[in-house]
Amino acid sequence: LMRHRQVAPLELVNHYLERSERLNPSLGAYVTVMAEAARTEAQRKTDALMVTDPGDLPPLFGVTVSVKDLNPVAGAPCAYGIRAACDRIAPADGYIVTKLRQAGLIILGKTATSQVGSLPYTEPPGFPPARNPWNLDYTPGGSSGGGAAALAAGLCAIAQGSDGGGSLRGPAFCCGLVGLKAARGRISFAPLGERLHGLAVNGPLGRTVADTAALLDALSGYEIGDPYWLPDPQPGFLGGLAPPTTSLRLGYVTRLDPVGEVDPVCGQAILATARRAEALGHRVEPVNFPDMAALVEPFVLVWQSVLAESTIPWFVLEKLNRWLYWRAWRVSNGSYLRALSQLQQIARQIVQFCHPYDALILPVFMHPTIRIGQWKRLPSPQILEQVINWVAPCPPFNTSGQPALAIPAGFAPSGLPVGVQLVGRPAAEAQLLGLAHQLEQAHPWQSHRPPWASQTA
């Protein structure tokens, strides 16, 4: 519509800002709404639209996007979910934000994250909790929960987030969205080092598979000096988006040890997705995923090391992060290196297990969305146990580096969305997105809107 000059960027930005002004106080999706900067950029783009050939516009010209508050945006606070850091104004854009601007996107604001992005719900101390627009008593997930809440409630057109253990896929599951953890090396961490050794990756949240593919195109690409990288496909993820041309071999998983059988609601979503895939002509079979008990301790050890080596004072950390911080100080350098070696060995086992299949269909989380504050009063070791048991299907693929995509798959009896996870071969996002697009066409989900967000429109 904008390319045909039927809608101006300024109109679009004003629409989203007006919705944000009314809904965000109840939702807690944005920690910073950049209204003045967004309108200034939208006016500049509106003026440019009148004198620029549509073919010369960047691919996502004038589209609105939110940015997770782990990524610096020039002139805006970057607090990482830490209340004491709210007065820290970023002097320049981070690399991911530069990529968004190059694609023509307009940044509406910074979205809430769990403190330092470490938890699968978004309730950092000193901030209002981010709430799920499908039911405000429930979490939108984490750590990209603010972006998911904003997108599901119609407070932006697309959202940027990141995933180091399910932080894109979990919020997509909770809010009825599409969330992609891209393959390792697809999206650069330039100009920074990659502290988590490939476990974490920036990425897209979208309402549809096509939206997600479009933002993946904008974010992906090699930067000089990257420790590992993948060549971009031609004609790109969105341009090449098409259903598979041949029958795929798919496996589906309803049990993940050491946790056990998935909740029946999530299990039914997996079986329904498997039946749809079979009806589309794919070969589908149940598979027994390897026991991931050996993954837990080295994965947690590496993650907690980020807290220990940061410059964040321990006393500003929330309860679980503080406990992990002090645990990390008791770990030797040798234990850390052994943990990395263990993760690499487990990654080989996972990829080898997945190798016979074009894709796997798994749970995203082991049970439906939790209430806000549900685990808040538990001791830290019990919170960690609850978190591990809920998010268990996600960390294996941060470890292996395979692309993993969460897609909507229906609703729980509570009315909250549920989804499934599609995991592809290494570096095979294009095939994975094609399969998801085919499933989306067979079972459309993009017309569903949270009643609360629609009724208050």
Rounded to whole angstroms, the Cα distance separating 46 from 65 reads 17
User: Using CA atoms, how far apart are residues 84 and 316, in angstroms rounded to an integer?
Assistant: 7
Which one of the listed residues 68, 99, 110, 181 is annotated catalytic?
Answer: 68
Instruction: For tokens 């960047």, name the residue.
Output: 58
Which residue out of 20, 118, 144, 167 is catalytically annotated? 167
Which of 114, 118, 143, 400 is labelled catalytic?
Answer: 143
Question: What is the spatial distance between Cα 147 and Cα 153, in angstroms, rounded to a whole number?
Answer: 10
Nearest to 362 by CA among 97, 228, 181: 181
Q: What is the spatial distance between Cα 133 and Cα 153, in angstroms, rounded to a whole number?
A: 6
Compute the half-sphere exposure of residue 347: CA atoms within 13 Å on the CB side of its CA. Answer: 20
H or E element that contains 1: none
Supply the pLDDT for residue 206: 98
Helix (H, G, I), strand (E, B) or coil at 89: strand
Q: Nearest to residue 215, comparing CAs of 97, 296, 349, 326?
A: 97
The secondary structure of residue 84, as a DSSP letter, is G
Per DSSP, the three-state class of 457 is coil
Does the annotation count 68 as an active-site position?
yes
Q: Is 454 a catalytic residue?
A: no
**Distance, CA of 407 to CA of 451 (rounded, Å):** 20
CA angle 336, 337, 343 (to 5 degrees): 90
Can you give the pTM of this predicted structure?
0.97
Q: Which tokens is 296 given?
A: 């837990």
What pLDDT is attached to residue 457?
A: 57
| Helix, strand, or coil (residue 122) | coil
Consecutive 10-residue averages of pLDDT for the chain (457 residues)? 94 98 98 98 97 94 98 97 95 97 98 97 97 98 98 98 98 98 96 85 98 98 92 92 96 98 98 98 98 98 89 92 94 95 98 98 98 97 98 98 98 97 98 98 93 82
Predicted local confidence at residue 456, as pLDDT: 64
d(CA 45, CA 105): 10
Q: Where are the beta strands (DSSP E) in 259-308?
A: 260-261, 283-286
Strands (DSSP E) found in 59-171: 64-68, 106-111, 158-163
